[in-house]
Amino acid sequence: MTTLLIAVGAFIFYIVAYNTYGKWLGHKIFKLNDEAEAPSVALEDGNDYVPTSKGVVFGHHFTSIAGTGPIVGPALAVMWGWVPALIWVLVGSVFIGAVHDFGSLIVSMRNKGQTVGDIAGRVISPRVRVLFLLILFMALTIVLAIFGLVIAAVFKAYSQSIMPCLIQIPLAVLIGFFIHRRGGNIMIASVVSLLLMYLSVLYGDTGWLAQANDYLKNWPLMTWVSVLLVYSYAASVLPVWALLQPRDYINSLQLISALALILVGLVAAGIFGGAAVDGVRPALEIVAPKLEPAMGLKQLPMIFPFLFITIACGAISGFHCLVSSGTSSKQLRCETDARFVGFGSMLMEGFLAVLVILACVAGLGLGIGDGQGSVLLGSDAWDARYTGWGSMSGLGAKVGAFVDGSANFLKALGISSAFSTALMGVFVASFAATTLDTACRLQRYVVQELAVSLMGKNDQEVKLSGNPLSWLVNKHGATIFAIAIAWWMASLPAAEGKPAGTGGMILWPLFGATNQLLGGLAFLVIIFWMKRQRMPLWFVVAPAMFMLVLPAWAMSYQIFYQALGSSQSWIEQGNWLLVSIGAASIALEIWMIIEAIAAWRGLKKLESEAG
């Protein structure tokens, strides 16, 4: 019953937060105005700036920000105990993450849909713009490399998810043309697409589809990464309405309905028990410790600061500021839609992270196979899966804990084991794919802006200058450059003699730290913009300081003292790629903070002279 109470309590908590704190931010602080002309209307170009209903933008935004972050992070962080993981998700998502996302969206909408990096150059200093863009470039390169590998790994582990995920692409193109070109009814498109996607999951591992799955799952890892990055190229350069927007929208329908199924299954398991094992329905109960007492035995890193970078996307994620200011701000047709999209999407992601925690600490206890034909229940299931930090360091172990636990919730509803597992596999792969294609589009913007900034000219002057790097200003050139760098990074072998792609996941420790650091830097930009607008700052200063200090601490600790999952530092391991990216990120952060302090003093001086 505790599991059920936590789920219901979290749901109520988020509803209350949206209608109190979120409403206060929208009405009293940002003063949203439905009559203000949105950038999508003022700068409509049919490609990036496209006025769109808030429901469709919500679908794009939510699926883009979620990815596998709120699944992988919480699935690993529960090793410290489910209580600290749950507290960080609930508090962080409302008072830090949602404020960050909502603030980034509003700042961008009030500045013609420009990215946070562009805005940093005006509200802090021109040098900060370049520094911020460099940090964005490094962070997005890691996202593209890792998420390409993540999807490939999920396809290999859950081959029944391959064809349902691929079918979404032509379906999205058809729906995009149906709605945008033909003016079709979005409700009809929603119902038809949702039905087709669930049918693809139901029959996705039968007949010729099963044969296709069996063939495709044997593709080498880097073949999948190559195919996925080529798809991302297409999603980046096509108009948003043609592929990116409809795919994210129909994905959101499937993912939100799957979330609802998980919640209903959790309720059923809490009241009636899980699917019968030997004729008995096991009771739903939390089988993991509140706070792990055997931290030394399980080789857990320090809970502080590493809990706060391990759970990134479920509480706060710097990547979200890129989605808010890179794509969503260019699509919202009305300012007042921003609370629903910016604040609401983060709360839904927080709720997803709560369900992931419950699936791992309670859902697993409803039964997992031991590989010998028997079923492990309760704490035996937890102990078998969570033996130590090293055993959970692989992507498959973290994703598998959620897939098995959440599938157990669905099985409590009488849904077959095969369909439950397939649906959860599609759930994870689809989330990762929507993050991948959005990240590619965002990286294209960053490469174009960096090229213009470093050449000291505007984009038109660069194109006419004859500079050998002017091709980076073109959307095709910028996108090709972005995916080429990501492909190279993903292809790194784990060691000499190992196959390509096996070492790409060494970047995962960087993902959490750079992601959270980016959130802290985005908060800096929000603070400076709000200061110039004479808005109150008390509710953003503490989150900004928290997110600037902790990621830098975690990254420095791994560079010089002890890396996650190892007894050695990155320097001792000779892992110079992680050392160089981590050190460069910290150096750029320090430089940006120094620039911010100088700019703040200038603002205070102007205020005192004016006053």
In three-state form (DSSP H/G/I as H, E/B as E, the rest C), the secondary structure along 310-379 is: HCCCCCCCCHHHHHHHHCHHHCECCHHHHHHHHHHHHHHHHHHHHHHHHHHHCHHHHCEECCCCCEECHH
pLDDT digits (tens, 9 = 90+) for 24-44: 999 999 999 999 999 999 999
DSSP notation for 386-410: -S-TGGG-SHHHHHHHHHHHHHHHH
Structure confidence at residue 498 as a pLDDT band (50, 70, 90): low
User: What angle is formed at CA 488 by the lines to CA 306 and CA 143, rounded to 5 degrees?
Assistant: 35
Return the DSSP state at 507. Answer: G
* Of the listed ranges 226-230, 291-295, 580-584, the one predicted with least confidence: 291-295
Spatial separation of the C-alpha atoms in residues 435 and 149, rounded to whole Å: 13
Residue range 174-178: average pLDDT? 86
pTM, two decimals, is 0.91
pLDDT digits (tens, 9 = 90+) for 49-106: 999 989 889 988 998 888 778 888 899 999 999 999 999 999 999 999 999 999 999 9
Spatial separation of the C-alpha atoms in residues 541 and 219, rounded to whole Å: 48
Q: Is the pLDDT of residue 456 over 70?
A: no
pLDDT value of position 533: 92
CB 58 within 8 A of CB 341: yes
Spatial separation of the C-alpha atoms in residues 367 and 377, rounded to whole Å: 5
Give the closest residue to 479 by CA, choosing from 73, 140, 42.
Answer: 140
Query: Peptide bond before 305: cis, by omega within 30 degrees of 0?
Result: yes
Q: Is the pLDDT of residue 561 over 70?
A: yes
CB 137 within 8 A of CB 443: yes
Give the best-scoring range by mean pLDDT among 16-20, 71-75, 202-206, 604-608. 16-20
Return the DSSP state at 277. Answer: B
pLDDT digits (tens, 9 = 90+) for 226-252: 999 999 999 999 988 888 888 888 888
Structure confidence at residue 390 as a pLDDT band (50, 70, 90): confident
pLDDT digits (tens, 9 = 90+) for 245-286: 888 888 888 888 889 999 999 999 999 999 988 889 999 999
pLDDT digits (tens, 9 = 90+) for 322-331: 999 989 999 9
In percent, the amount of the chain with pLDDT more than 90 equals: 50
pLDDT digits (tens, 9 = 90+) for 130-159: 888 888 898 889 888 888 888 888 888 888
Query: Peptide bond before 84: cis, by omega within 30 degrees of 0?
Result: no
pLDDT value of position 427: 87
Spatial separation of the C-alpha atoms in residues 330 and 48, rounded to whole Å: 7
Spatial separation of the C-alpha atoms in residues 607 and 605, rounded to whole Å: 5
Residue range 333-353: average pLDDT? 96
Residue range 350-359: average pLDDT? 96
Structure confidence at residue 578 as a pLDDT band (50, 70, 90): confident
What three-state secondary structure class fits 52? strand
* Of the listed ranges 100-114, 458-472, 520-534, the one predicted with least confidence: 458-472
Residue range 407-429: average pLDDT? 91
* Of the listed ranges 185-194, 341-350, 530-539, the one predicted with least confidence: 185-194
- Two tokens, residue 243: 């592929």
pLDDT value of position 461: 61
Q: Please name the residues in contact with 448: beta carbons below 8 A apart, sequence gap of 6 or more.
A: 459, 472, 473, 475, 478
Spatial separation of the C-alpha atoms in residues 417 and 38, rounded to whole Å: 47
pLDDT value of position 158: 85
pLDDT value of position 503: 61
CB 217 within 8 A of CB 162: yes
Structure confidence at residue 432 as a pLDDT band (50, 70, 90): confident
Spatial separation of the C-alpha atoms in residues 295 and 204, rounded to whole Å: 42
- Residue 332 pairs in a beta bridge with 52
Dihedral over Cα of 399, 509, 93, 525: its sign: negative
Q: Please name the residues in contact with 216: beta carbons below 8 A apart, sequence gap of 6 or more.
A: 155, 159, 162, 163
pLDDT value of position 510: 80
pLDDT value of position 610: 54
Residue range 207-221: average pLDDT? 89
